[in-house]
């Protein structure tokens, strides 16, 4: 708990000026608030004395009371504006830092993370923290000023009546101590349930087409209902505990007023206390009830924010990708694109066996390598090691003679243009998706020329708004082949010296593939390229072809050499040729 509080407050010192202004407003507003009842009590006593002079004096005191109340309200406005404004900016900084940290986390983090839960931590959890930084601190500071000064003023009027009134009020501390830990536990459970519900909804919406294709709307609805029921159960449990706290606070506050009215009223009847002083005393008790009640709200807010900050800190505690993991290499002024794999063996974290074993080959600058093999043979894993989604061991992977783990990540990744196996597009226009790869403006003519190299020029004319067609979330408005070709064009626009194509033509037919490959050969003349493919016709013109099988290099050579060797490549190529001919006959 204390650790969570320290972490929450680390964002506060960034806004010293508004916090100091807010603190000054808190002190001034609360002192004026405590002073105002004394003026009202004095005016009542003056009225009771009778006579025109006393009435005039009471009117002047009344005007003073009004002026003090207005001034207190203005300072309260300044307090709220300064402190709540600072909390909003601190929450903005927290969200920015959290987002930036997540962006720097390694691929293995996202392998097990749920997008919906991450969004919940970035939104609802940050908002819970903001409440404690703004309104929470404001009420705590106000109570710390108001309570002692009001009690001092009450004691100045009647020590015995003050002691009688404080009994029920101080019982609030016991109530908070009893119920506070339960609120903390239940709040954390609610925050976790919110993340789970968000994750379930996000996955269901993102997979809407799959849900419809399998007619599993009822199943998804039932799963969402279960998550929602769990959230409601946890929320109701928290609401019951909070209700006990809030209800107890109201009961104890009302009890304090009854004590004052009974005991103070008896003193007024006995003539030992003036009616004006009793009215002043009642105002002070009423003034203290809200801070006491707000204690429950503040405790609840801090409990929730502590639980939320624990969830946020779980993300901050994850270590980001190191820029380099070896002795930094000399700055690469110009990447030539020479790649070398030397006895590369790699196992995914938590896996039972190696994904790659003793892989050794080189790719000369400006040449094209075809990388093929059965499903699960390690092709995509090898590409992910090149861009350091996972760090390769030792000095097994080198770029232009440098161990890639010694090259700063920004420099390394700037050398690659990647077309992933899972074609991903942002939910904006085709033009803006292409512009993502370039610095500055992307002219429509260059965009169209690049799409022509990727074989999408004919399809582009049939789209409703051409380049300005909105592709929808993850490109759902486009076919699989169209999405792949847009991602190819995006990679070509990057103009990086090394191009990585991970089975990016699987969703197009053979005729379209031939047209795209012709454009790619033009675009790849000055680049080093690795083309991962399931369809072997995709790589037949590559300068070198490597066949991976169970993570090992099973064959290597040119297309003609591998066909002549009669191994896996030759058998698969022959089988695919027959399948293509049969499709042509159909």
CA distance to 261, 263, 269, 273, per residue, from 266 (Å): 8, 5, 5, 9
Indicate the range of 94-98, 151-155, 164-168, 226-230 predicted with least confidence. 164-168
Confidence of residue 471 (pLDDT cuts 50, 70, 90): confident
Is residue 145 one of the residues assigned to a domain? yes
Per-residue pLDDT at 506:
72
Confidence of residue 320 (pLDDT cuts 50, 70, 90): confident
Domain count, the chain: 2
Most confident range (mean pLDDT) of 178-182, 356-360, 440-444, 447-451 is: 356-360
147: in domain: yes
Q: Examine the fold and report which residue of 253, 285, 316 is the final residue of a domain before the chain moves on.
A: 316
Q: How far apart are CA 305 and CA 292, in angstroms?
A: 20
Per the listing, tokens 């009778």 go with: 50
- Return the pLDDT at 141: 81
Q: Report in angstroms the alpha-carbon separations of 297 from 5, 69, 319.
A: 16, 25, 35
pLDDT at 527: 86
- My answer on whether 163 and 74 are in the same domain is yes
**Measured on CA atoms in the order 561, 565, 571, 574, is the torsion positive or negative?**
positive
Is 321 within a domain? Answer: no
> 49: number of CA atoms within 13 Å, CB side?
14
pLDDT of residue 341: 92
Instruction: Extract the tokens encoding 292.
Output: 């006491």
Range from 5-19, 70-84, 88-102 carrying the lowest mean pLDDT? 5-19
Residues 293 and 348 in one domain: no
Residue 50 in this model has a pLDDT that exceeds 70: no
Q: What is the pLDDT of residue 345?
A: 92
Higher pLDDT, 92 or 474: 92
Let me know whether 500 and 539 are in one domain.
yes
Between residues 581 and 470, the one the model is more confident about: 470
Based on the domain organization, do 344 and 298 belong to the same domain? no
Closest Cα to residue 317, out of 109, 123, 10? Answer: 109
DSSP strand pairing (552-557 vs 397-399): unpaired
Q: 324 in a domain, yes or no?
A: no
Instruction: Give the pLDDT score at 208.
Output: 67
pLDDT at 467: 82
What pLDDT, on the 0 to 100 scale, is given for residue 214? 62
Distance CA 375, CA 197 (A): 34
Give the pLDDT confidence score for residue 74 in this predicted structure. 93
Residue 544 confidence class, pLDDT cut points 50, 70, 90 = very high
Q: Is the pLDDT of residue 327 over 70?
A: no
- What is the pLDDT confidence band of residue 363, given thresholds at 50, 70 and 90? very high
Q: What is the pLDDT of residue 254?
A: 76
**Shortest CA distance to 91 belongs to which of 14, 20, 2?**
14
Which region among 186-195, 287-296, 527-536 has the lowest average model confidence (pLDDT)?
A: 287-296
Of the residues 255, 282, 316, which one is the last residue of a structural domain? 316
List, edge to edge, every strand of the sheet that includes 402-403: 356-363, 339-346, 397-399, 402-403
Asked whether residue 325 is assigned to any structural domain, the reply reads: no
pLDDT in tens, 260-306: 778 777 877 777 777 777 777 778 877 777 776 666 667 777 777 87
Name the range with the highest mean pLDDT among 29-38, 330-339, 455-464. Answer: 29-38
* Structure confidence at residue 272 (pLDDT): 72
- pLDDT value for 329: 57
CATH of the domain at 561: 3.40.50.300
pTM, whole model, 2 decimals? Answer: 0.67
Same domain, 510 and 386: yes
User: Mean pLDDT score of the chain, rounded to an integer?
Assistant: 81
Residue 328 placed within a domain? no
Mean pLDDT for the stretch of residues 374-401: 88
Least confident of 166-175, 309-318, 465-474: 166-175
pLDDT at 210: 65
**For residue 430, what pLDDT is reported?**
84
Mean pLDDT over residues 159-166, rounded? 79
Return the higher-pLDDT residue of 560 and 280. Answer: 560
Q: State the pLDDT at residue 2.
A: 57
Residue 500 sits at φ, ψ, to 5 deg, of: -115, 115
Per the structure, the complete domain to which residue 515 belongs is given by 339-585
Tell me, yes or no, whether 332 lies in a domain.
no
Task: Specify the pLDDT at position 388.
Answer: 87
Q: 580: which 2 tokens?
A: 């293509």
| pLDDT band with cut points at 50, 70 and 90 for residue 204 | confident
Name every residue whose Cβ is closer than 8 Å to that of residue 506 and which is 6 or more positions away in sequence.
421, 484, 534, 535
pLDDT of amino acid 427: 80
- Cβ atoms 386, 409 nearer than 8 A: no
Checking if the pLDDT of 131 tops 90, the result is no
Are 351 and 308 within one domain?
Answer: no
Among 152-166, 409-423, 509-523, whose mean pLDDT is lowest? 509-523
**134 & 176 share domain:** yes
Across 338-347, 411-420, 468-477, least confident range: 468-477
Q: Is the domain of 356 the same as that of 438? A: yes
Residues 442 and 573 in one domain: yes
Identify the pLDDT of residue 138.
82
Least confident of 300-314, 316-330, 428-442, 455-469: 316-330
Tell me which of 258, 285, 316 is where a domain ends: 316
Q: What is the pLDDT of residue 414?
A: 86
pLDDT tens digit sequence for 212-266: 666 777 877 887 888 888 888 888 888 888 788 777 777 877 777 787 778 777 8
Residues 451 and 542 in one domain: yes
Q: Would you place residue 338 in the very low, low, confident or very high pLDDT band (cuts 50, 70, 90)?
A: very high
Assess whether 437 and 352 both reside in one domain.
yes
Residue 212's pLDDT is what?
A: 66
- CATH code assigned at 172: 1.20.1560.10
State the pLDDT confidence band at 330, using cuts at 50, 70 and 90: low
For the cut 90, the answer to whether the pLDDT of residue 375 exceeds it is no
Say whether pLDDT at 82 is over 70: yes
Confidence label for 346 from pLDDT (cuts 50, 70 and 90) = very high
Q: What is the pLDDT of residue 476?
A: 73
How much of the chain, in percent, has pLDDT values that exceed 90?
A: 11
My answer on whether 78 and 200 are in the same domain is: yes
The answer to whether residue 331 is domain-embedded is no
């Amino acid at each position: 708990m204390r650790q969570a509080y320290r972490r929450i407050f680390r964002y506060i010192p960034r806004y010293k000026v508004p916090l100091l202004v807010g603190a000054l407003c808190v002190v001034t507003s609360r002192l004026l608030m405590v002073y105002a009842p004394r003026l009202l009590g004095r005016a009542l006593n003056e009225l009771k004395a009778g006579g025109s002079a006393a009435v005039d004096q009471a009117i002047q005191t009344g005007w003073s009371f009004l002026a003090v109340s207005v001034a207190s309200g203005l300072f309260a406005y300044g307090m709220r504006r300064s402190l709540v404004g600072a909390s909003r900016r601190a929450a903005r900084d927290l969200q920015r830092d959290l987002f930036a940290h997540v962006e720097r986390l390694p691929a293995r983090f996202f392998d097990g993370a749920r997008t919906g839960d991450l969004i919940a931590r970035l939104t609802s959890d940050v908002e819970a923290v903001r409440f404690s930084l703004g309104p929470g601190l404001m009420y705590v500071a106000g109570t710390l000023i108001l309570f002692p000064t009001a009690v001092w003023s009450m004691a100045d009027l009647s020590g015995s009546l003050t002691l009688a009134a404080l009994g029920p009020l101080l019982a609030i501390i016991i109530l908070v101590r009893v119920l506070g830990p339960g609120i903390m536990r239940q709040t954390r459970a609610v925050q976790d349930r919110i993340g789970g519900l968000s994750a379930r909804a996000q996955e269901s919406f993102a997979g809407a087409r799959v849900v419809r294709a399998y007619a599993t709307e009822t199943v998804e609805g039932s799963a969402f209902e279960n998550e929602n029921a769990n959230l409601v159960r946890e929320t109701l449990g928290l609401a019951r505990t909070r209700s006990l706290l809030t209800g107890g606070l109201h009961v104890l506050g009302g009890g304090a007023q009854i004590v004052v009215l009974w005991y103070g009223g008896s003193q007024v009847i006995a003539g030992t206390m003036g009616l004006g002083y009793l009215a002043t005393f009642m105002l002070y008790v009423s003034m203290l009830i809200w801070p006491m009640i707000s204690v429950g709200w503040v405790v609840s807010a801090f409990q929730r924010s502590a639980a939320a900050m624990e969830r946020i800190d779980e993300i901050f505690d994850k270590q980001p990708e190191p820029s380099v993991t070896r002795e930094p290499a000399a700055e690469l002024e110009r990447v030539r694109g020479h790649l070398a794999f030397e006895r590369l063996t790699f196992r995914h974290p938590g896996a039972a066996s190696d994904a790659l074993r003793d892989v050794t080959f080189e790719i000369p600058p400006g040449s094209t390598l075809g990388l093929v093999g059965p499903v699960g043979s390690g092709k995509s894993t090898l590409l992910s090691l090149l861009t350091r989604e996972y760090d390769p061991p030792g000095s097994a992977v080198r770029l232009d003679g440098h161990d890639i783990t010694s090259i700063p990540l920004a420099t390394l990744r700037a050398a690659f243009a990647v077309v992933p196996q899972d074609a991903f597009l942002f939910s904006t226009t085709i033009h803006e998706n292409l512009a993502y790869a370039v610095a500055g403006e992307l002219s429509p003519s260059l965009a169209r020329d690049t799409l022509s190299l990727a074989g999408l020029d004919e399809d582009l004319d049939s789209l409703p708004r051409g380049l300005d067609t909105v592709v929808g979330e993850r490109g759902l408005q486009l076919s699989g082949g169209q999405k792949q070709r847009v991602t190819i064009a995006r990679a070509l626009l990057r103009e990086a010296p090394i191009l990585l194509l991970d089975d990016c033509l699987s969703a197009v037919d053979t005729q379209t593939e031939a047209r795209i490959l012709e454009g790619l050969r033009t675009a790849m003349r000055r680049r080093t390229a690795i083309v991962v493919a399931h369809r072997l016709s995709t790589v037949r013109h590559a300068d070198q072809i490597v066949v991976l099988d169970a993570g090992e290099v099973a064959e290597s050579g040119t297309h003609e050499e591998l066909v002549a060797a009669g191994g896996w490549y030759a058998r698969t190529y022959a089988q695919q040729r027959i399948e293509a001919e049969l499709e042509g006959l159909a």
